[in-house]
Amino acid sequence: MINQQQLWDDEAARHYDTPGEGMFSPEVIGPTVEVLAELAGDGRAVEFAVGTGRVAIPLADAGVQVSGIELSHAMISRLREKVTEDQIPVVQGDMTEEVAGEDFSLAILVFNTIANLLTQDEQVRCFQNAARHLAPGGRFVIELWVPQLRSLPPGHGGTVEVSRPGYLLVDTYDVLHQHVVSHHVRFGPDLSDGREARIGRTPHRYIWPSELDLMARLAGFELEYRWADWDRSEFTADSRSHVSVYRLRRPAGR
**Secondary structure of residue 115 in the 3-state scheme:** helix
DSSP, res 206: -
- The pTM score is 0.91
Per-residue pLDDT at 192: 61
> Is the separation of the CB atoms in 124 and 220 below 8 Å?
no
Residue 102 burial (C-beta neighbours within 10 Å; 0-12, 13-18, 19+): middle
Give the type of residue at 27.
E
User: Starting from the edge strand earliest in sequence, which strands make up the sheet with 241-248, in order?
Assistant: 90-92, 66-70, 45-48, 104-109, 134-145, 241-248, 221-227
Per-residue pLDDT at 65: 98
CA distances from 16 to 21, 75, 172 (A): 11, 9, 22
Concatenated DSSP letters of 23-44:
GGSHHHHHHHHHHHHHHHTTS-
Ranges of beta strands (E only) in 120-166 are 134-145, 158-164
Per-residue pLDDT at 198: 84
Per-residue pLDDT at 77: 95
- Asked if the 4-146+208-248 domain carries CATH number 3.40.50.11900, the reply is no
Give the type of residue at 121.
D
> Which pLDDT tens digits describe the chain residue by residue (254 residues)?
455 555 666 777 677 778 898 899 999 999 999 999 999 999 999 999 999 999 999 999 999 999 999 999 999 999 999 999 999 999 999 999 999 999 999 999 999 999 999 999 999 999 999 999 999 999 999 999 999 888 888 888 998 989 999 899 999 999 999 999 999 898 887 666 556 888 888 999 999 999 999 999 999 999 999 999 999 999 999 999 999 999 999 654 44
- Residue 19 CA to residue 13 CA, distance in Å, equals 13
> Is the separation of the CB atoms in 47 and 141 below 8 Å?
no
Taking only Cα atoms into account, the Rg of the chain, rounded to an integer number of angstroms, comes to 18
Q: How many CA atoms lie within 13 A of 18 on its CB side?
A: 10
**CA 131 from centroid of its chain's CA atoms:** 17
∠ at Cα 9 (6, 11), nearest 5°? Answer: 135
> Is the separation of the CB atoms in 179 and 173 below 8 Å?
yes
Per-residue pLDDT at 21: 86
Domain boundaries, the chain: 4-146+208-248, 149-204
> Is the separation of the CB atoms in 187 and 198 below 8 Å?
yes
CA distances from 5 to 54, 75, 93, 116, 219 (A): 19, 10, 10, 12, 27
Q: Which residues pair with 174 in a beta bridge?
A: 179
